[in-house]
Chains A and B, each alone.
Chain A
Amino acid sequence: MSQAVETLTPPSAADLAEDIKSTWAAHVLREQSAPSKTNYIYASRYSPCLRRMVYEMTHGDQQVPFDADTIAKFRRGNDRERDLVSDLAKVGRDCDYPFDIVSQQERFELRDRKGRVAIVGRVDARLRYRWGAGYPVEVKSWSVFLTEGIREFDDLFLNRWTLRGAYQLLMYLLGAGEPLGFILLDRSGLPDLIPVELNDKNLSRAETFLSRAEKALDHKDAGTLPDFISDTEECHMCPFFGSVCQPPLKYSPVEIISDPEGEQILERWSELRDGALEYNRLDKQLKARFRPRAKIPVKTLLGRFLLRGSWGKLTKYEIPVEIKEQYKTVDAEGVFRLRVEKI
């Protein structure tokens, strides 16, 4: 080794950046705690697959650990949740109905009918009002793609990721016997506070989770396993798939039909498609180009084209959002989208 390294030129900016990034990832990974077995179900671990809930307890230590990027996302979420609770405490002092933030990160336990600790969790905070109530608050800092469509508590049940947060809060309400609580939802702007009442519908949901946890505990105690779930998508998202659990997979094939008329329509549709797209683009361009100020009509000759434009009546109903909300219904299957691809 003839050359002393001290005399070398310093590394490039890219090399330095790469060095910092890889060390950062290693630093984040060091903070990860090893997954372990438990004797109960975590409140945040509701699953439509009962077998998975059993595995969470019996094989909890046999989960593939998260990568550095995912752990970093969790860290960011935790930091954000802490900030939101801190802001909430300040806001609470100035509200018309002032409240204090109490019992932060308080452990919660819910026992089943056999007296076993079935569901365990940690309540992010409680809002303590003058009248003595301590309403639980669950703070969630999910991806904006998940939170964009959430307007009310029921919306949380439409997605498999947000569903768990919804069940988590219901467990806190059921466990503490509180009639209401809140999901504090982080957003890119102001956070949203979604109220939740333990009405009949939500009570039934909460009891479903408790009863599933009880069944999972029964299996754990008996050393048995529930049947496989027949939801391939759920299986592929399960941390036990392939390592501990080997379920059968079932995909339904494409449906093959014979419909000469439909085929003709599709062929013609395919021929016209590109032209139609261009027509729509030009039509928009044209209308924007020759749109005058309000009340001024258009009567123009351009080359071989005569353009005539006039203003007509437009009726609008400016309905306040709160009124509009009262008439809102959500049908998860209400919209049909058809994507046609020529192979």
Chain B
Amino acid sequence: MSTQTKIKEIEDDFLDPDEPQPQPAPTGALAKREQTAPVPQSLAELAAMKGEALEVVQARIQVLETLRRAAIKTTNPEDWLLFRDKREGRVVGYLQDCGCERVRDLYGIRIFDVQEPIKKESSDGTYVYIIRGSGYCALTRKAVPDIEGGRSSQDDFVEHLEGLQKELYVRKAARANLDGNITRELAGLNSVPQEELEQAWKGTSKKIEHCRKGKGFGSSVERDGADLEVMDGINQSDLPICPKCQAPTKYVPAGVSKKGKRYQAFLACEERECNWTMNFAKWKKDFLEKKEKKEQEQKPPEEAQSPNKDEAPPLPMEEPPF
């Protein structure tokens, strides 16, 4: 069956007249457009309406624009991942799966025909979970069949987990990704310009600066905005040995933890089992002070100023011509 045929089938299913429709509001003055009158779908239907067609189209645009702004306003900056086009400098936001959950209720998203997640394993023991499902937007009456969602056992959020626990998280995340993909597709929130986000959050405490930054914003540490403690002046061989297990230590640059907590650059023991760490800035200050002191001590004491024997003696002053 072609995708178009499937979309038509889904849309027809949801337009089943037997399906219970929400009751109109009790006040007589409120005439519900969406539920009571059939909404013209095609150009031909709109053309048949002649003068009214423009009004219908404008009303639709207004509804969709208002709803889109309302949907963005419902989300938090942390729900968005910003991408920057390096050539043009254009910044767009991608609504993450957690944010999609907040907008589903406005658009009337339905997710159905969800199949069992399929595990695809690689020879190195890693795996991905793929899950398929279809979606429908009760507001725009658009359908998206056979959408895929997936997550990998190598994703950052399960890095610290193992075994069944890891698998459960990956499976759950795959489903969340499917629901997110359907929502983004139906709500058109895949790629939203930065200006639109700012406009929707105007007058609230939500700021574009609080959004997560992705591709186009530099390295992971730079885009997290953490202080970069550079190894400037410190050689790898200067690093201390671990006081706990005497193993070598390594430099870990500043960044943001998985729980979203900022941390400063630190030294960590290279031994996996050992949990020794130390703040790098403190160690560096201490190390440089000691290094300077040591250099001072090794310097020979300065001799008293004496006329250099090799230096030519000053020329005798010429006698005045008179």
> Which positions in A face B, CB cutoff 8 Å?
1-9, 11-12, 15, 19, 61-65, 236, 241-243, 246-259, 261-262, 341, 343
Contacts and interface: CB of A to CB of B under 8 A. Distances in A.
Given A9-B286, A248-B111, A261 B239 contact: no
Contacts of A236: 101
B240 A3 contact: yes
A137 B279 CA distance: 52
Contacts of A242: 171-176
11 contacts: A9-B282, A11-B279, A64-B169, A64-B172, A242-B175, A249-B111, A252-B138, A254-B67, A257-B32, A259-B29, A262-B30
Contacts of A343: 66, 69-70, 73
Interface string B67-88: 1011001000000000000000
Q: In which size bucket is the chain B interface?
A: 35 or more
B108 A251 contact: yes
B32 A256 contact: yes
Contacts of B63: 256
B237 A251 contact: no
A257 B36 CA distance: 10
Interface string B164-201: 11001101111110010000000000000000000000
Nearest to B141: A253
B279 A15 contact: yes
A62 B171 CA distance: 11
A239 B218 CA distance: 37
Given A259-B30, A343-B69, A5 B277 contact: no
Interface of B: 22, 25, 29-35, 63, 66-67, 69-70, 73, 101, 104-117, 131, 133, 137-139, 164-165, 168-169, 171-176, 179, 237-243, 248-249, 277-279, 282-283, 286-287, 290
B113 A257 contact: no
Contacts of A261: 29
Contacts of B279: 11-12, 15
Contacts of B290: 3, 7
Contacts of A11: 278-279, 282
Given A64-B172, A246-B133, A262-B29, 11 more contacts: A1-B241, A1-B249, A4-B241, A5-B240, A8-B286, A62-B168, A63-B168, A242-B171, A250-B111, A255-B35, A261-B29
